[in-house]
Amino acid sequence: MGRRGLALAAIAAGLVVVVLAQRLAPLAGPPLYDGVPLVEPYVWLSPPPGQPGGAQPAHDTETDMSGGFGVFTAEQPPQAQILIDPGILDIPDGTTSVTVSVTPVPPPALLPADGAITGNVYDIEATDQNGAPIAIAAGSQVTVVIRGPAGLSSARIEVYAGGQWTAVETDPVGVPDMYTTIVGELGEFALVKPGAGAPAVQPTPSPAATSAASAGTAASGGPVESPAGSRAASPAPGPTTRSSLPASVLSTSSGSGGAPALPWSQIAAVAIGALVVLAAGFVLLRPVKPPAD
């Protein structure tokens, strides 16, 4: 095969792969290939000292149920968003309108056992004109995107539904601290920094809570309850008052709630390493005649 034949074959194969990749593996990612991500500071529901507050809900109400939904919070980029393709919701007969909402809420009493919630918890739900919940159709999925506070080196999305937290497959979006997942249920979504060993919510516990904590639920890897002023940890019927803990105590593993310290030593090491490699490259790669173009 000649050079031009190979070129045509490569272009044709590439176009086929592009189409297949976006049809068969529609994980939400950058629209195309790259860009320069730009991010506003994170907005908290209950801000830590020195951090901006005012996280706002967002919703979209449609009377034409044949379309899809795309609901984004107002920050740039949005701190929470949900994308629902047409026909994904299991809409009962008699429904005249559907509202999809994304609402920042205080964390539930039961916290993830496998890490620390980082940032706001967002309650994402679909309801009909009477406020009754609408579920996702069996076998269907929606895309959820959550952005966390600055400095997340890694995190995963977990969803709180049915009285428990479930970690879901998570991918970075390409914007700092922004992650996406495709899920088959709605609920309360949060970014969880894994491996923290214990949740970041560690207020001064009440005596009762102290005794509960001493039972070792965290150490055993079981569910961890927020100890004070929280809503019922179990899914049993009862008051649904949310934790009185300010969201400001939900932060990165440092638990300080402020911006994490930059690892300047790592950055310096990488920069020095890059300079060494560049210097070595300068020696190895002599200037040569440029190619065509």
Q: Which is nearer to other proteins, 168 or 175 (CB)?
A: 175
The runs of H, that is alpha helices, within the chain are 3-24, 207-214, 264-284
| 13 Cβ contact list (under 8 Å, min separation 6) | none
Question: Which residue among 18, 137, 215, 219 contacts other proteins (CB under 8 A)?
Answer: 18
Contact window for other proteins (CB under 8 A) among 109-117, 175-183, 218-226, 228-236: 175-183
Q: CA 62 to CA 66: how far, in whole Å?
A: 9
Contact window for other proteins (CB under 8 A) among 11-19, 112-120, 188-196, 210-218: 11-19
Q: Is 236 in the site for other proteins (CB under 8 A)?
A: no
What track of x and - describes contact with other proteins for positions 129 through 148 (by CB under 8 A)? --------------x-x---
Strand partners, 110: 225
Contact window for other proteins (CB under 8 A) among 101-109, 202-210, 240-248, 264-272: 264-272
Q: Is 90 in the site for other proteins (CB under 8 A)?
A: no
- Alpha-carbon distances of 110 from 87, 128, 177, 211, rounded to whole Å: 33, 28, 24, 16
Return the SS3 of 28: coil
Q: CA 134 to CA 90: how far, in whole Å?
A: 6
Q: Is 22 in the site for other proteins (CB under 8 A)?
A: yes
> Which residues, 48 to 77, sit near other proteins by CB under 8 A?
68, 70, 72, 75-77
- Alpha-carbon distances of 198 from 153, 155, 170, 216, 217, rounded to whole Å: 18, 15, 21, 11, 10
Q: Is 23 in the site for other proteins (CB under 8 A)?
A: yes
Q: Is the peptide bond before 237 cis (omega within 30 degrees of 0)?
A: no
> Which residues, 26 to 45, sit near other proteins by CB under 8 A?
26-40
- Closest distance of CB 66 from other proteins, Å: 10
Residues in the interface with other proteins (CB under 8 A) total 85
